[in-house]
Amino acid sequence: MRPTHRFPAAAGVLVLAMLAAGCATAPSGHDAYEKALAQWQGAPEETLRERWGKPVSEEQIDHGKWLTYFVNNGTAPAPTVSFSIGGFGFGGGRTSVGGGVGVTTPIGQPTTIGCTTRFLVENGKVTTWNFEGPGCGSTG
């Protein structure tokens, strides 16, 4: 007798829905930040300055200027290394005593989670932008 395998239609629909959900991922922080910056396309320079404040630098170029802003979104702790000694036991028979010592020490420096954002202003309007840094689009 040959075994029959039945795959109910509802199970098939469920599998397809799960596969589709796996392909539909939430936008990354980078993508969300890019989308948020898109609102500045064509905005007047005065509006940008009112909202973002004084830039950390301005660079004049032939056809406009770059306004650079830096946002510090916090600091990541320095990486650490741990040393431990443990599992000492002495005594005989059923008697044992244990103990342990652990030490953690930082190696390196804390890392700034910052974001540098640059806006190109031409003829008094924002025309493009770019950004870099681990803090761009972070919620920290």
Question: Is residue 38 situated within a structural domain?
Answer: no
Report pLDDT for 113. Answer: 78
Place of tokens 């954002």: 117
pLDDT tens column, 11-70: 444 444 444 444 444 457 889 999 999 999 999 999 999 999 999 999 999 999 999 999
Average pLDDT over residues 92-103: 61
Tell me: pLDDT of 96 over 80: no
Report pLDDT for 123. Answer: 97
* Burial class of residue 117 in the structure, from the number of CB atoms within 10 Å of its CB (0-12 exposed, 13-18 middle, 19+ buried): buried
How far apart (Å, rounded) are the C-alpha atoms in residues 137 and 37?
Answer: 10
For the chain, give the mean pLDDT: 74
Question: Is residue 27 situated within a structural domain?
Answer: no
Question: Is residue 62 situated within a structural domain?
Answer: yes
The tally of domains found in the chain comes to 1
Question: Is residue 127 situated within a structural domain?
Answer: yes
Question: Is residue 136 situated within a structural domain?
Answer: yes
How far apart (Å, rounded) are the C-alpha atoms in residues 41 and 59?
Answer: 19
Question: Is residue 65 situated within a structural domain?
Answer: yes
Tell me: pLDDT of 110 over 80: no
Report pLDDT for 72. Answer: 79
How far apart (Å, rounded) are the C-alpha atoms in residues 64 and 136?
Answer: 24
CATH number at residue 50: 3.30.1450
Report pLDDT for 101. Answer: 64
How far apart (Å, rounded) are the C-alpha atoms in residues 32 and 48?
Answer: 19
Structural domain boundaries enclosing 116? 44-75+110-140
Question: Is residue 97 situated within a structural domain?
Answer: no
Tell me: pLDDT of 136 over 70: yes
Report pLDDT for 12. Answer: 45
Q: DSSP E strands: which ranges in 1-140?
A: 57-61, 64-76, 80-86, 100-106, 111-122, 125-132
